[in-house]
Amino acid sequence: MNADETLTWRRLWVETTGRLGDAVPARWLVEEVSGLEGDEWTTDLDERATALAVARLDGLVRRRLAGEPLQYVLGHWAFRHLDLLVDRRVLIPRPETELVAEVAIEHARKRLAEQRPITIVDLGTGSGAVALSVVSELPPDAVEMWAVDSARDAVDVTRANLAGLSSRHGRNVRVVEGSWFTALPVMLRERVDVVVANPPYVADHEELPSEVEAWEPAAALRAGPTGLECYEQIVPDAARWLAPGGVLVCELGARQGPAVTALAQTAGFATVEVLPDLAGHDRVFVARRPQTVASVTQA
């Protein structure tokens, strides 16, 4: 750049595109440091860039060039209607998980047609993507949400994201640290209407994309030798914590449908369904507890 040329946001975008080899993430990074939003991207693109933004952008581009996922570099990412804070403490919210939230919302709505308020539990909440989407897309005060994670770090991120929710939606959300159902107060036993979970389900021997392996928390991805370990804990316990007619909604790996279905049948769930994601892979597991309590095995 010539010394007499003004460093505008546009020039910065062009330069960043050159460094990253891609105009789209370059734009997102320039938007991030410039604060230009929506129409401002067209109206203010030829304004002079600030020194602080230039320095900050350079730091972000270096992180991206070192392989860090764009979502962590930006520090936030969209999930359904929310813009969530994300960093290395939590999994990056994935598009297929939006479907898991949608199925949970659908079942919550059906339940709300019969009673109000209802209780929903999100196990392994991470950034809070599922829990916070579900509450924010249902009528305020219709839902009591319990968001659970065993990692202190993740709980901190969930709480930060909860702070970003409007108070009418956020006031009935409790974020608790602990292992699955043991984190919940006993008074919720047999009283939960919907349990939703995106647990770790990748087997130890399975390969993950290198960017995922290098940057995302293994504890949120890897379940153990078979990949089914978390379902082996969650599914039987869900049968004990759900109210009669309550529903369990889980994300699962593309080849885990039959094994998780078998677990649910053994645990006494009445109806079990596996739904595909947009790519046609098995992704969402839905099991309903029978209306009559007698048919459920109690441990």
264 close to 234: Cβ distance less than 8 angstroms: no
**Residue 121 to residue 193: CA distance in whole angstroms:** 8
**Residue 91 to residue 160: CA distance in whole angstroms:** 15
Total residues at the site for ligand GLN (CB under 6 A)? 10
Q: Exactly one of 108, 123, 202, 250 binds ligand GLN (CB under 6 A); which one?
A: 202
Q: Which is nearer to ligand GLN, 165 or 221 (CB)?
A: 221
Cα 136 from chain centroid (whole Å) = 14
By CB under 6 A, tell whether 88 contacts ligand GLN: no
In angstroms, give the least distance from the CB of 72 to ligand GLN: 14
Q: Which is nearer to ligand GLN, 138 or 220 (CB)?
A: 220
Residue of 206, 198, 237, 211 whose CA lies nearest to 224: 206
In angstroms, give the least distance from the CB of 6 to ligand GLN: 43
Q: Is the dihedral of CA 52, 17, 208, 129 positive or negative?
A: positive
Q: Which is nearer to ligand GLN, 29 or 263 (CB)?
A: 263
Q: Which is nearer to ligand GLN, 137 or 251 (CB)?
A: 251
**Cross-strand bridge partners of residue 8:** 48
206 SS3 class? coil
By CB under 6 A, tell whether 158 contacts ligand GLN: no
Stretch that binds ligand GLN, among 18-26, 40-48, 195-203, 255-263 (CB under 6 A): 195-203
Stretch that binds ligand GLN, among 31-39, 133-141, 201-209, 265-273 (CB under 6 A): 201-209
**Residue 86 to residue 181: CA distance in whole angstroms:** 25
Distances in Å between the alpha carbon of 43 and those of 39, 47, 181? 6, 9, 51
**Residue 91 to residue 26: CA distance in whole angstroms:** 23
In angstroms, give the least distance from the CB of 227 to ligand GLN: 8
Q: Which is nearer to ligand GLN, 32 or 96 (CB)?
A: 96
Residue of 203, 202, 178 whose CA lies nearest to 188: 178
In angstroms, give the least distance from the CB of 80 to ligand GLN: 16
By CB under 6 A, tell whether 200 contacts ligand GLN: yes
Q: Where do contacts with ligand GLN occur on this chain (CB under 6 A)?
A: 94, 198-202, 208, 212, 221, 251
